[in-house]
Amino acid sequence: MTITVLKAAPGEPPRTAAEIGDTVSIMLARLRTGGAQVALEYARSLDGWQGEIMVTRAEIAAATARVPQALKDDIAWAHDNISRFAAAQRATAQDMEIELRPGLIAGQKQIPLQAAGCYVPGGRYTHIASALMSIATAREAGVPDITACSPPNGAEGIPDAMLYAMDLAGATRILTIGGVQGVAAMAFGLFGAPAADILVGPGNAYVAEAKRQLFGPIGIDMFAGPTDSLILADETADADLVAMDLVGQAEHGGNSPVWLATTHRPLAEAVLERIPGVIADLPEPNRSAARQAWADLGEVVLCSDREEMARHADSRAPEHLHVQAADPDWWRARLLAYGSLFLGAGTTVAFGDKAAGPNHVLPTSGAARYTGGLSVHKFLKTVTWQRVTGPVLDDLARVTASISRAERMEGHARSADLRRGAGVEVPRTMTLKG
C-alpha cells in the first residue's frame, strides 16, 4: 500500500531570499569595518534602542527583583534540568590515550572553546527557554567567556524574565542588541566582548543568514530554518491531544510545517475535524500564525503499517518527532532521522521546547539526516595527539616512507627516512647539522 495523502501542504517553507543575503552581506561589511559605532547605529535605527548596549549588573539586579518569585522558581527548575542534562553529556566526552604498538602512543583531548556568542531571539515571543538552552549548555561545556545578546522589547529593553534567565544560565555579559548587528557584535568582539569562537542560537531569517555568511573562521551551531514537527500516531492515540500538539507547534509561525502520519483513518479524520476549532481558540497573534502554518504547510498522511510510518519519518527527518503509538521501545530502536524524539502521548514537544532538559536548538529542513542538535559537544574541540618512541620507530618510518613514495610525496618520505636507525642513506642534496 502506498501512502495516502488526506491533507496536502499546498505551500513550501520559504527559502532565504536573495535580497536577504545581499542585505546581510552589506551590513556585515559595514560592521566589520565600522565596528561598534556602526552596530550602535543599526541598534538605534532597526531595534529602536536608545539605551546602552551593555546591560549592567545593577540593571540585571533590578530586573531580577521585578520577576515574580514563582516564575523565578520555574525558570530555575527548567535551568536545573537543562544544566544537568548538559553536564551528563559533557561526562561522555572523555580524554583518552592508547598504545597502538610498543612506543606508539596516541590520544584525544577535549578542549572547550574559549568564547561563545549566544543569540537569544525576541520579537513576537519572549524566548526565556532559548536563553537557558544555549548559555547553560556552553557553561556546562566549560566555555570560560559567554556573550549573550537579545533585541530590546521597545523602550524597556530585554524583558525582565529573559535577563534573569540569561544571568542565571551563566552569561559573562549581556548585550541589548538584535539582528545582524547583534550577531556581528559577538562575532567581531564589539562592546567589550572577545570575538566569539562559535555563534549559537535561533533567530529570524536575517540572523540565520548572518551566521551562514560568517561560518568558516567562526563556528556555528547549524544552518537553521523554520521549526518543523511530525507526529506518528496509531489507533491508540487521542485525537484531541494530537490536534493540540500540532497546533501548539504551528504557533511558532506561518512558515512552520506540522505533519501527521497515522495508520488509523478515523484518527486522521477526527484530527482534521478538530484542528480549526483548536486554532480559533488561541489568542492573537498565535491564532493567525497557527492558521497560516496549518493552511499552507500542514499535512496528514495515512500509512499502511508502522514500518511505512517509520520510513516516512526517516524521509522527512523532522526537527521534532513525536510518537503517539504503541510499543515506544520499537520506535526508539527503529527511527533513524530526527532532531529530538518524543516518546508517548505524555511527552509533548512543548516539554522539550521549554523545560525537560535536552536541548531545543535542533536541525530543521531535513538537516536531521546528517546532524543532531545543539549540545556540549558543539562547544568542545576533540583534538588528537601522538608520541613515538622506542622499538616502533623503524617500522613506522619505513611504512610512512613506503606509502609516501607510492603517493609521489618524496618530502614526506625523506622526513620519515631521517628517523630510521643507522644505515639509512640520506640524499646527498641534504645537509644534516649537529
pLDDT over threshold 70, residue 309 = yes
pLDDT over threshold 50, residue 434 = no
Q: How confident is the model at residue 16 (pLDDT cuts 50, 70, 90)?
A: low
Burial 16-39 (b: 16+ CB within 10 A, else e): eeeebbeebeebbebbeebbbebb
Task: Report the pLDDT value the prediction gives residue 423, as an integer from 0 to 100.
Answer: 34
User: Mean pLDDT for the chain?
Assistant: 94
Provide, rounded to the nearest whole percent, the portion of the chain with pLDDT above 70. 95
Q: How confident is the model at residue 223 (pLDDT cuts 50, 70, 90)?
A: confident
> What residues are annotated to the active site?
319-320
The arithmetic mean of pLDDT across residues 68-76, rounded, is 98
What domains are defined for the chain?
18-221+377-381 (3.40.50.1980), 226-373 (3.40.50.1980), 391-434 (no CATH)
CA distance 84 to 399: 47
Task: Report the pLDDT value the prediction gives residue 400, as an integer from 0 to 100.
Answer: 96
Give per-residue pLDDT as tens, 332-376: 999 999 999 999 999 999 999 999 999 999 999 999 999 999 999
pLDDT over threshold 70, residue 286 = yes
Task: Report the pLDDT value the prediction gives residue 422, as an integer from 0 to 100.
Answer: 36
Angle (CA) 68-72-78 rounded to 5° is: 150
CA distance 214 to 396: 41
403/18: higher pLDDT: 403
